[in-house]
Structures are given as C-alpha cells and as structure tokens.
Structure 1
Amino acid sequence: MDFYGHVIDGEEAASLSGATFSSTDPHTRRPWAEAALGDGADADRAVSAARRAFDHGHWPRMGTAERGRILHRLADLIEEHAEDIALADTQDMGKPITQSQGNDVPRTAANFRFFADHARLSTSESYPMDTGHHAYTRFDPAGVVAAIAPWNFPMMLESWKVAPALAWGNTVVLKPAEDTPVSATLMARLALEAGMPPGVFNVLHGYGPDSAGQALTEHPAVDRITFTGESGTGRVIATAGARHLTPVSLELGGKGANIVFADADLAGAVEWSIRAVFTNSGQVCLAGSRLYVQREVYDEFLTRFAAAADALVVGDPRDPAVQIGPLASAEHHAKVAGYVDTIAEQGGTLRTGGLGDGWTIRPTVITGMDHTARHAREEIFGPVVVVIPFATEAEAIELANDTPYGLNAMLFTENLHRAHRVAAVLRAGTVWVNCFFVRDLRAPFGGVGDSGIGREGGTFSREFFTEPKAVVMQIDPAADRDRPRSSRGRSAR
C-alpha cells in the first residue's frame, strides 16, 4: 500500500509516534492505502508551522494578485491530475468515478479559481465624514485556520474551506476525515508544487475525539475553525471554540424537504428529485430525503419516480456505467441498513430498493409512512427517501418546516407567484426552485437550526476568514479644530 503522510511546514512526514492507519476501499472492503495517524503532538507541530508562516512569513503580506497566481496554478495542477485525484476519492469512499471525475475535481479547481479572483476583485467600504475625517474598511487575514472536512465530498469540500482561507492570506491546517485521507495529501503535494510557501497549507491526518481533531480544535493558537459534518460533532467543536473565543463556522446535517406541486413539470421534477436523493448514494447533507407530493399528481409522480430509482445502476464505482456505489464504511452501512430493516416497523412500505451486496443499499423508496416517523425525521445519509402526499400549499409548508434541520429545501412548480411565496417562508439556508445543487459561489451557503452556524461563500467567506478593521483618518485638521470641543470623540449613537 502507498503511504500518505501529514504535510507540515512544506514536507510530507510520518507521525511523531510512527502510528499509521489504513483506508479501506468500500467496494472491495479491503485496505488500499496507509496514512499517518496523528495525535496531539502532531497537531501542535502543524499549528506551530502555520503560526510561524502567518506571523513571520510572506504569504499574509503578499498582494492578492500574487497569491492568486499560486492558487490558479494549484487549480491547473488539480485539473492535470484529475484522474488520480478522482480515483483516490472513489477508492476512499466509494463514490462513482463519473461523479468524482465529472463533478468533484472540476468544482475543486473552480473553488480555488473563484476565491483567488474574488479576493483580488473585492472592494471595501469607505465612509466620507463631514468632520474633517475619512473612514474606510480593511479586511486583514484572521490568522491560523483549522479546517475539518467530511468524507462524502473529500477534496471538493476541503477546497471550499481551504481556498477562501488561503486567498485572504491565512495559513491553514486541514484535517480530512479519517475515512478519506488520500486526496488531502495529494492536494497539499500539488500546492507545494504550485509554489505555496512552507507552513501555509498543512495537512494533519487522524481521528476526532481524543486524537488529532480534538487537539486541533482546542489549540489556543488557532484563530478560526471551519467544520462540515454531523450536527452532534458540530456542537462539540463549538464548545471547543468557545473556550478560547475562537470564531467557528459550522455546516452541519440536513433533512431537506422536496415539495412537488400539482402544477410542476413532472418529468423535470422526477429527474431532479432522483438526483437530489440518490447522488453519491444519498451521502449528501443536501439530499432531498423528505419528498412531499401534492395528492393530485401523487400516484403518477410516484410511479415515474420509483421506476427511475429502480433503473439506477448499482455496482463497482470504478465502472463508468455505475450510478450507485457502496456506502463509505462498514459502520455507515450498518447505520443505513438499520433504517431499511425497520421500514415496516415504522409503518412504511418498501416501494423499491432495499439491501444490496456488500456495503451497498439499492435506491430505496418508502411510502405509507407518517411524517413523524424516524425515517422521515432523522438524517439517514443514504439512498433512502420517504414519499408523503399533501393537500394544500399551507400543509406542504408546515410539513417542510417541521424539522430541527434547516440546510436546504426544494420546490417544483410552474407558478411563479407560488415559487417566490413558498421560497420566502421555507426555513432553510438554500431553496432550489425547479432544480437541485446549482451553486453560485458568491451566494451564502449554510443552514439554520441543527444545520449549522454562519455562512460561507463570496463576501460571507471574506467576513469569516478576515478581521474587518475600521481605519479613521483625519484629512482636514482645520475642520477638526473648528468643531465644538464637547462634540469631539462622541459616539454617533
């Protein structure tokens, strides 16, 4: 097996303890790669390297154009090595190769390009004052960023955190998920090849609790923590950040509602709804796994939807014809299988799908289940959807908002008034109308409730990864002298 080490201070290295762990290919269910297993000492080593690079290095003091050239070069290298990177994510977590290579790698490169350009082209506010002064805003890098990424879109979601942090002049310690270590090391190797200075982008492998992840989030020299993952883990990380008053950005779990109204284009609604719940074998926090269909079209929609689900090809994720690969790990497969095994117990009917070979779950469509059932309320994170009929627009909104989550929602309608009306009242960070997973990187991304804290994307990422600073300059001493002494220094409030 090939070895993938930490990348710290510009060098790939083993753990100080010499410990390693294996990454298992979910299709073959055999180890295929070995990675360094970090602990608190390795976390301290990575944070110290990032701290030195920020406090004494050139990266935070570069112009945005100079940083941008390096980030664009990194994007070029990612595209040049697309096949190897895509295969790494497919072997690490079972994602179909067509999704790894056709979606994840291009979007990874696009993230680096976008944030490199966004930092260079962003403007700041100026505030002319009638007191002989002028105020303006600076956006200085925050410092050392701890970025903790999930296993379902490994390199793509790592780049969503790393790219804006680097573009705004921060240094980064990335901890990838232990299930998917390989592409993070590959990305760090390419960053060094692109000309990124030592210590600017570091990769730390390891587990979470009582391991590298916990040590990283609790480190007093970390200035920002950005995390994508499960809601319970997000609470733990928020607590760790609170100890040092470290700002956190949390993109957590979801249980997205997908509403299909009777006036929808049913062919389009079926196609998008299939993507919304079965892409990446349902291992998507944005999955539309609560599917509400208006009664007038419920039977017709369900017939088409179940047939389309049943037609999806399940198998070896390296095969370009395969659309559904295995789940990412034995532990996760056991969790999702537990939901499939209890469908009847929860009052539901299996319309199509069920357990597959190995760690696969066939695209599973459940009907007859009340919206209060576990399957309709808990984040399953697999290719499982509950289809529930509704009568009125008001009922659909009530059902959609009856959840502790609030990451995203979808609705399908050809009525423009309804589209705007319903989108406005859905409790979600993103609402897609007649589509799914279409992104504009300038727009805010994040959730409410158990789906997280904060927003990232465009200027929202700038606000998180910088320390906005007000600078007030005296430009007319005479005007300042002529002001009544009693008014000097008073707040504008």
Structure 2
Amino acid sequence: MTEFPVENPATGEIIAMVADGGPAEARAAVDAAEAAARAWARTPARARSEILHRTFELMLRDREQLAELIVSENGKSPADARGEVAYAAEFFRWYAEEAVRTDGGYGPSPAGGTRTVVTRRPVGIAALVTPWNFPAAMATRKIGPALAAGCTVVLKPAAETPLTALAVARLLTEAGVPGGVVNVVTTTDAGGVVTTWLEDPRVRKISFTGSTRVGQLLLRQAADRVVNASMELGGNAPFVVTADADLDAAVDGAMIAKFRNGGQACTAANRFYVHADVADEFVARLSKRVEALTVGAGGEIGPLISAKAVGGVARLVDSALAAGARVVARAAIPGEGQGHFFPPTVLADVPADAEIVGQEIFGPVAPVVTWHDESELLAWVNASELGLAAYVYAGELQHALRLGEAIDAGMVGINRGLVSDPAAPFGGMKQSGLGREGARDGLNEFTETQYLSIDWPGT
C-alpha cells in the first residue's frame, strides 16, 4: 500500500507517513465491522458503558501526548489542543452514562386487544467522516454514541490530521473494544472510500462533519440506498451586541467565539453586528485584545491548515476592503516562509452585504457591521442559508432570549462565546445540517425504533 505525508502546518515539516487506503481497504473495513457487528450489538449495555468509561480515563492519562499530537498535525495552540482533548474525552464519559439508559416503552392499545412494546436497536454499521479542525473531538463525538448504541463503525479521518484518530483508536483497543468494532481508513482518496461505503448494502448509517457542499453530495449518494444520514455542515455564525450589552463580557466572548482554533471552527463567530451606540467602543476594545495576541508555533494563535486556506482568507479580506471596510487592528505574524499563518484582524465599516459577511471565513478575521434597527438586524442575520450557531450579548436577559429565539440557528450562546457541550444537542438549521450530535439526541441518531404488537385477548 502506498503512503502519504502528514505535515505540520506551522513549519511545513513532514511529521509522519500514513497508509493511503482506497476502495479495497474501505471494503475490508466493512468486512471487519460486519464480522464484529452481531456480537457487539448483543454485548450488554453495561459492558459497553464500562469500555467507554475506560477510554475516557485513558484519554485523560494520555492528555499531554494527545495534545502534542494535535499541535503537530493541526497546528492549533497548545492551550486549544489541551482543551480539545478534555472536550473529546467527555464524549466517552457522557455516552458511557447514556449507554445504560436506552429508551423504550410499553402500553395497551387504545382499541384494546393488543399490547405495544417499543424498543430501540442499533442502526447497523456506521460510516463516520470527520474533518481536520478538531481531529480528536469530531471522532469521539461520533464514535462514542455509535458504540453506546451497539453499532460497529468505519471511520475516515481527514487526510490533514489522521494521526489523532489513529491514537484514539488505539486507546479504544486498550480499553477493551473488540477487534472489528472500530475501523479506521486513512486516505487521500476521500471520495473513493466514502462512495465505497455508501454503495455497500451493509452500511446503514453515514455521519459526516464538513462543508455544506460535500454534505450535499453525500446526501445525494445516501438517497440512492436510503441510508440514514446525519450531517453537521458549514456555519456563518452571527455575533450580536446590543446597545446595553456588557462590553467587557462581549469582548471576552468575542475572543473565544472568533479566535478559538484560529477561527477554524464551524461554530466560529463569522460576522459581528454591533449596535451603533457602542460600535466604536467595542471595536477599540476588541482591537486592543487582538493586537496583543501572540501568533506562531506554540503561540495563542496557530497557523491555518494550509497555504490554500491562507489564500482564501486573504481574498475575502481584500474583497471587504474593496467594498469599503477598513483594517483597524492586526496582530504580528512570523516572518515569510514559516508556516501557514494569517494575522488576526479586525475590520470596521464592513457593509452588511459584503462577501466576507456572507461566506464562512474559517480564519482569524472579525468583520464588524454596525446596526441601528432591530428588524433590519434580524433580516441581515437570517438572510444566510446557514444556521449552525449564533451569539447574542445584551444587558437584559429577556431581550437576549427574544433575539436568540428569533435567530435561525440550532445553537445560540446567550452572553457567552462557547456553545459546545457533550450534554447538549449540537447541530444546525437550514443548510447547516441534519440531526444532532451530543446529548440523548446523539445516541438516538445511531438507533432505529422498532415496536412489537402483542396479541392480548380478552381486553
């Protein structure tokens, strides 16, 4: 089998060579998953729970090594990497607890003569496709509920960051997951591998995190066989600041919502809508914080994932400047030729219809749009076809809640810059996806409902 290189985006150094699988390896992974499926589905929920909890403990044991691996292949800051490992591990703990609480029901038919038993059963072999921006958390957020439900899985991590997925798979094996239950295929031929899975009648579930464009293609393929599909797709999160908001809290939240992972998150604040009465002050405070950021390998802000990503962000900024925006703050970046860095940037006077407002930036750029009228604000906010996350900062809680409920987004942070939580349903509206991950909802995504109608004479 051929191999492909894994690059450190902060230095350009090749840090590993990884097996480059294709359709043959994809089929072999399904073969292994099929061989293990019946036994795993019949494994008592308590036993599955204990394995998941052991994996949680092993991730905490190896948290520093896992964080270092994420820094090396993804480029994110050490603090962000440690935070991701802790977050990723929590999915194993949460689903260890949920595994033993499978829903069901029993009751008489209203017409009499029968009793109804409702159960949930594993959906079957699940194909999991994860992105590069959170290589640990995106894997555990899918593997955890799938195993808790009794499914076996085939996983394709992103070619940019396969090492973390392989490390998580090794920990699952150490924790006691039987052979064939979790199968990882690393590849540069994503289309060939995933198409092989979607065309295989043994695969009954596809769970994908990535761009809306790719998600649309996978949904078309899944429709041919009516494969159960969960899609966590693109975002264009608005960050709304009202006239009476606590500006210190709003700036703190903006630094998290925008600059966590260098802005390379589907939940990242993408467009800032700040009321005219406080816009200048908000921009001044945010600019001061952004200019103080340290950028570089090991800094607060790491590199973007590739040179192509840097070019895409630069193009959006240039387009905004041509439309009348202005740069009010920029952090310093390392010298030329030292990785794929883009300077954290604040843009003011951004037109509401600027391209950078309508496109997912996926980089450390904060474009600020000034608003006056709330009805116009909501029209701007909801004009996007994407509706994953949003953030609202307002002085009056009821006002913040009213705004949050009026925004077309699956998740809204109210006076906080972080929405992700293993115990909460993660997912979006409109073209941001289908289904939910996390919480009880995430477990149900890997099950199918079955009811048994029992003859009950004499009633």
Instruction: Tell whether the structures are fold-level matches, with TM greater than 0.5.
Output: yes
Number of the residue aligned with 1:331:
308
Give the match's secondary structure for 1:87.
Answer: helix
Name the SS for the 1:226 alignment partner. strand
Q: For the structure 1 residues 453 and 382, does the alpha-carbon distance in structure 2 shift closer, same or farther, using more than 3 Å as the test?
A: same
How far is the alpha carbon of 1:402 from its aligned partner?
1.4
Correspondence 1:93-492 to 2 at 5 A: 93-101=74-82, 103-130=83-110, 131-317=112-298, 322-353=299-330, 356-357=333-334, 358-475=339-456, 477-479=457-459
SS at match of 2:448: strand
How far apart, in 1, do the equivalents of 2:318 and 2:127 lie? 39
> 1:182-226: CA deviations, max 9, x gaps?
011111111111111110011011134543233233333211000
Q: Which moved more, 1:462-471 or 1:128-137?
A: 128-137
Q: Which residue of 2 is the match for residue 482 of structure 1?
A: none
- SS of residue in 1 equivalent to 2:15: strand
Contact 1:343 1:350 survives alignment (8 Å): no
What SS is found at the alignment partner of 2:343? strand
**Offset of residue 67 of structure 1:** 0.4
Distance in 2 between the 1:39 and 1:233 partners? 19
Match of 1:36 in 2: 19
> Deviation per CA, 1:448-486, whole angstroms, max 9, x where unpaired?
2221122222232233201111122234x222xxxxxxx
1:47 paired residue number: 30
Distance 2:346 2:369 in 1: 11
SS of the counterpart of 1:296? coil
Distance between the aligned counterparts of 2:136 and 2:397, measured in 1?
37
Query: How big is the shift at 1:62?
Result: 1.1
| Pair 1:299–1:333, CA change in 2 (3 A) | same
Q: 1:257·1:408 contact (CA, 8 Å) conserved in 2?
A: yes
Q: Residues 313-357 of structure 1, C-alpha deviation per residue, up to 9 Å, x if partnerless?
A: 11113xxxx210011122222222222344322321111127843
By how many angstroms is 1:106 displaced? 1.1
Residue 120 of structure 2 aligns to which amino acid in structure 1?
A: F
- SS class of match (1:362): coil
In structure 2, relative to structure 1, the CA distance for the partners of 1:439 and 1:281 (3 Å cut) is closer
Describe the superposition over 1:417-461 as per-residue Cα deviations: whole angstroms up to 9, x where unpaired.
Answer: 212211111100001100022444343221122211222222322
Q: What is the CA-CA distance between 1:368 and the residue it aligns to?
A: 1.7
Contact conserved, 2:391 with 2:412, CA < 8 A, in 1?
Answer: yes
Query: Could you tell me whether the CA contact under 8 Å between 1:272 and 1:436 is conserved in 2?
Result: yes
| Number of residue pairs the alignment of both structures matches | 454
- Would the aligned equivalents of 1:38 and 1:211 in 2 still touch at CA under 8 Å? no
Superimposed CA distance per residue, residues 145-193 of structure 1 (whole angstroms, 9 cap, x where no aligned partner): 0000010010111100110001010000111000000011111111111
Deviation string for 1:238-269 (max 9, x for gaps)? 11111111011110011100100011111000
Identity of aligned residues (%): 36
Q: Distance in 1 between matches of 2:419 and 2:220?
A: 33
2:277 match: secondary structure = helix
C-alpha contact 1:354 1:361 (8 A) present in aligned 2: no
Conserved in 2, the CA contact under 8 Å of 1:337 and 1:355? no
Provide the C-alpha distance between the structure 2 equivalents of 1:183 and 1:443, rounded to a whole number of angstroms: 24
Give runs of ≥4 in structure 1 deviating > 4 Å.
Answer: none
Counterpart code for 2:267: L
Q: Deviations over 1:341-378 (max 9, x none)?
A: 44322321111127843311111111122121111110
CA distance in 2, matches of 1:385, 1:314: 16
Comparing 85-94 with 444-453, which one deviates more in the overlay? 444-453
8 Å CA contact 1:253, 1:451 repeated in 2: yes
Name 1:12's counterpart in structure 2. Answer: none
Q: Which amino acid aligns with 1:334?
A: G
Contact 2:91 2:438 in 1 (8 A): no
Equivalent in the alignment of 1:15: none
Q: Using the alignment, how far apart are the partners of 1:306 and 1:126 within structure 2?
A: 59
Q: Give the SS at the match of 1:178.
A: coil
Query: Contact 2:155/2:184 (CA < 8 Å) preserved in 1?
Result: yes
Matched position secondary structure for 2:269: coil
Task: Report which of the two structures shows the higher radius of gyration computed on alpha carbons.
Answer: 1
Q: Is the 8 A contact 2:80 2:261 kept in 1?
A: yes
Kept in 1: contact 2:296–2:333 (CA 8 A): no
Alpha-carbon distance between aligned partners in 1 of 2:365 and 2:114, rounded to the nearest angstrom: 61
Per-residue CA distance 1:71-122 (angstroms, 9 max, x = gap): 1111111111111111111111101111111x11111111011011112124
In structure 2, list runs of 5 or more residues that go unmatched: none
